Every structure is written in C-alpha cells, then in structure tokens.
Amino acid sequence: MRVVIAEDLTLLREGLAALLSECGHEVVASVGDGDALVAAIEEHCPDIALIDVRMPPTQTDEGVRAAVEVRRSHPETGILILSQYVEDRYAADLLEGGARGVGYLLKDRIADVDQFLAAIERVAGGGTVIDPEVIAQLLVRQQRENPLDRLTPRETEVLALMAQGHTNASIVERLHISHSAVEKHVRKVFAKLSLSHDDQHHRRVLAVLTYLGA
C-alpha cells in the first residue's frame, strides 16, 4: 500500500512513517502542510493519505481543507483524518463528499497499533472508519441543527414528494400548482440546503438524502 503522510509534528510524522514501513507499506511522501499534501497526491497518486486536521500556517483547518480538495480531485485516494480533538464540523465537511474510502480518528487511537493499521487498510480499500467519539458528536450536532428548519412548509412538502420519487410534473399534479411554482420551490430548497452543484439531478439526490437524514 502506498501512503502519503501530512502531519506538521516532525516526531509524529516520522514515527508514523517508520511504523508503516515496518509493516510493509510504502510511504511515498511525508509532508508538513496542506499545499505540500496536494502536490504529493498529484505526484504520487497514493492509495491513502493520513492527514492532520490542523497544519501551518494558521493551525486551524488547513489539513481538512486540503483533504476535501484531494477528495474532489482524486476520489480514488483514501482519506484518513487524524485529529487531536473531536472536531465534528470538519468530519461533516469531509463526509459530505461521500463516505467511501474515508476515515476520521482521534490521534489517541494510534496507540492501538493493530486497530490503527486495520483502519488504514480498511479506508485504503474503500471502507469507512469513524471514531466513536466523532460519531457521538455528529449525532449531537444533527439533533442541534436540523437543515429542514430553514424551509417553509410548502418547500418541505415539495421536498417530501421529491424524496418519494416524484418528478416536478408529478408534484404539479399532486399539489395543484403551476410548473413554474414547483421549479421555484425546488430552487429555493437547493439554495436553503446549500446545494450549489451545477447538475440539477445531483442536487436533487443530495436534497433527498438531507431530508431522509433529518
């Protein structure tokens, strides 16, 4: 398995590289910031990238922003985020791009070497590994923030029919409103759920997934 490591703490970065090498994996690049990570992915096309959330220059979200960029440009590369603390917003940002080949673990889990290596192999193989603490925080966030609260009753009704598989024409018949009215409601649903993808079919699927998840 070919691995890229993105971690600004030199000791941890070298320790991870040594551990993976001892286990027969090839560390093709070991970097300390988001820009270098993106460049390394472009050059090596690894099976998986291990990425710290917080990296230079601001030590905030450079790592996860680079991970999201990598996810878009190289969806075949597994992404395993390593974080010192539970940061549910970053986990949600990454998972929005699809859960296949994605992992999010607290750095404390590295101490259990066997489980850590198993997590790496699972993510590289297209599986998903999410730390139990992160899952707990995501559930709390979901309970706290319901995106459907942004919709009007009519928009919610339209979205519910979309979730049942109805086309715009079918929604017109069921609600006894005009085609233009349905199209307007659908556009507002996309906007209020922050679905800005150009492909309307793709946005429709994401809107339905949001509805079912909420």
pLDDT at site 158: 93
Dihedral through CA 143, CA 50, CA 16, CA 33, nearest 10?
Answer: -110
As a whole-number percent, the residues of the chain with pLDDT over 70 amount to: 86
Distance of CA 81 to the CA centre of its chain: 10
pLDDT at site 199: 55
198 has a pLDDT exceeding 90: no
Q: Is the previous residue joined to 147 through a cis bond, with omega within 30 degrees of 0?
A: no
Which domains, ranges and CATH numbers included, belong to the chain? 2-143 (3.40.50.2300), 147-213 (1.10.10.10)
As a whole-number percent, the residues of the chain with pLDDT over 90 amount to: 48
- Write down the mean pLDDT value for the chain: 86
Mean pLDDT in residue range 167-176:
92
Summarised one tens digit per residue, pLDDT across range 92-125 is 667 666 667 888 899 988 889 999 999 999 999 9
Which of 6-15, 67-76, 133-142, 178-187 is least confident?
Answer: 133-142
pLDDT at site 58: 84
pLDDT at site 90: 66
Mean pLDDT in residue range 186-208:
78
Mean pLDDT in residue range 72-91:
83
Summarised one tens digit per residue, pLDDT across range 116-166 is 999 999 999 998 888 877 776 766 665 566 788 889 999 999 999 988 888
How far is the C-alpha of 59 from the C-alpha of 76, rounded, in Å? 27
How far is the C-alpha of 124 from the C-alpha of 80, rounded, in Å? 9
pLDDT at site 86: 72
Residue 165 Cα distances to 66, 120, 181, 205, 211, angstroms? 35, 37, 18, 10, 13
CA atoms within 13 A on the CB side of 198: 0
Residues 6, 32 contacting (CB under 8 angstroms): yes
